[in-house]
Amino acid sequence: MSRTTNDFSEVHFQIMWNRMISILEEQALTLVRTAFSTSVREAGDLSAGVFDRQGRMIAQAVTGTPGHVNTMAAAVPHFINDIGVERIYPGDVYVTNDPWKATGHLHDITVTTPVFIGEELIGFFASTAHVVDIGGRGYGPNGREIYEEGLRIPIMKWVERGELNQDLVNIIRNNVREEDQVLGDVHGLAASNETGRRRLLEMLDEFDMTSLEHLAAFVFDRTRKATLAALAPVAEGTYRNEMRVDGYDEPVDLVVELTVTGEGMHADFTGTSPTSAYGINVPITYAQAYFTYGMLVALAPELPNNYASLFPFTVSAPTGVILNAEDPTPVSVRHVLGHFVTDLCLGAIAPALPDVVPAEGAGALWNFQASARGADPADELPPVEVLMFNSGGTGARPSLDGLTATAFPSGVMTMSAEATEQIGPVVIWRKEIREDSGGAGTYRGGLGQVIEIGPIDGYQLEFSAMFDRVDNPARGRAGGGDGAPGKVYLDDGTPFPTKGVETVPAGRRIVMELPGGGGFGPPSGRDPQAEKNDKDQGYVS
């Protein structure tokens, strides 16, 4: 006979909670170890989590990114609704990359696995990973509709009752450029969920439990109370902020009005620029993910991330604005603008939390995405897709310098030069801290980096540029200076576009100077010892 909630003390639940986190870390690390794409195994561009039978996220792995985790948290109910409870069987595995039901663009694949005890459904494991290719135009902003951006997989059964869906495998295999990497990553996602499922059942057996209901109720109750308590320092009222970023062919204005009450926060993006003709648009679930993340890291960085901590944060936006892109709007590089939502919303509450909110940072990743092709068709060199994540500097904090070449808010790790060179026909000639790129201030903005990359002999690169903060650098706060804007050019000085697909010819190299973060406080207040260290280290000239 299984135990009831009355059989467990708070200590018992805390032990089970800690055990659950360890299970999720093993789930995420299984994905890292089995993934084919460097974006997953090197950069940790993934998420992993466990859900109750209603599709509410109980816990997430520490390894992962907020854009994946927080959108995945909203995705599992879509799996339940689309598959139908009556068609959910033991041994099933489900898959999708639908931007509006999962993580916001086609290059992320989400896999969900139900968990049964006997014939009783008790919950789900889910995981997400960014794949190197999904067909179509490739990873870049040039698509004009979602249909151009690659293969769209509706919520489907990857496995039914233990039997792999070979028809779906063949559809994917014949619609992507890197079939081994993409299919390998989907199998890795399924394997990670299976690891979580097995470990969870072992835990439940050990504690003589037949459901997750009592543990979930404990976690949700404690988290909800702690989250609302963490919001208390922000006075109730309305806060507003605006930010201008580069956009594609014209600047984009991002606008937020935050309403704070005793029950949560609501972000309204009315006033934001309309959707673009190009793939920089953002589904609202992705904007919500980075709004929520920003508020939680500012107010409750030690709290667990689950259904109850996400619930108090809501968003809205008029139809047709760039942070509320609707099907079939192109959304391939939705991260470029989506990553700015965190700084946008933090800037709104900065007056209420002047000792917490940092200056603006580089924000969006500077992804190196290229299709390596033979420069001479007669050479018949094999084509290769190459992906590398790179980060500029973060904004200075109210009591600390910004972080150098660090991904905030995405949280992905730096991909090593060696791993990138191993996977494709490129050479990384230079990767170094960018001098003078951090905004001046009492606390200096984080520094960007300089990266110089070129194809090896015989190849050229069809390069997908998706860069921002070139015309609109990160702004300082409280009297701090702006960070340095980014630059992109060929090694002979030829300017290179910041968005769109262009060619890096054989024998040439592309140079990317990544933007720095804004400074915090007046430069006159900087510690002389800190100034000396900056010069000694080569951070400033």
Q: Determine the structural domain holding residue 449 and report its residue range.
A: 358-541
Last residue of a domain, one of 224, 256, 286: 224
Beta strand pairing call for 252-261 and 264-268: antiparallel
Q: Is residue 199 part of a domain?
A: yes
Cα 64 to Cα 47: distance, rounded to the nearest angstrom = 4
Per-residue pLDDT of the chain (541 residues; tens, 9 = 90+): 455 545 677 888 999 999 999 999 999 999 999 999 888 988 889 999 999 999 999 999 988 889 999 999 999 999 999 999 999 999 999 999 999 999 999 999 999 999 999 999 999 999 999 999 999 999 999 999 999 999 999 999 999 999 999 999 999 999 999 999 999 999 999 999 999 999 999 999 999 999 999 999 999 999 999 999 999 999 999 999 999 999 999 999 999 999 999 999 999 999 999 999 999 999 999 999 999 999 999 999 988 899 999 999 999 999 999 999 999 999 999 999 999 999 999 999 999 999 999 999 999 999 989 999 999 988 889 999 999 999 999 999 999 999 999 999 999 988 889 989 998 899 999 999 999 999 999 999 999 999 999 999 899 999 999 999 999 999 999 999 999 999 999 999 999 999 999 999 999 999 999 999 999 999 999 999 999 999 999 999 9
Q: Is residue 297 part of a domain?
A: no
Cα 334 to Cα 344: distance, rounded to the nearest angstrom = 16
Q: Is residue 261 part of a domain?
A: no
Q: Is residue 249 part of a domain?
A: no
pTM: 0.95
Last residue of a domain, one of 224, 247, 266: 224
Q: Is residue 36 part of a domain?
A: yes
Last residue of a domain, one of 224, 239, 270: 224
Q: Is residue 194 part of a domain?
A: yes
Contact (CB, 8 A) for 178 and 132: yes
Q: Is residue 219 part of a domain?
A: yes
Cα 334 to Cα 272: distance, rounded to the nearest angstrom = 15
Contact (CB, 8 A) for 349 and 234: yes
216 and 362 assigned to the same domain: no
For the range 136-139, what are the long-range contacts, defined as Cβ-Cβ under 8 Å and sequence gap of 24 or more?
A: 136/106, 137/332, 137/501, 138/177, 138/369, 138/371, 138/385, 138/462, 138/464, 138/501, 139/107, 139/332, 139/333, 139/367, 139/369, 139/387, 139/464
The number of folded domains in the chain is 2
Q: Is residue 430 part of a domain?
A: yes
Residue 319 exposure: Cα atoms within 13 Å on the Cβ side: 3
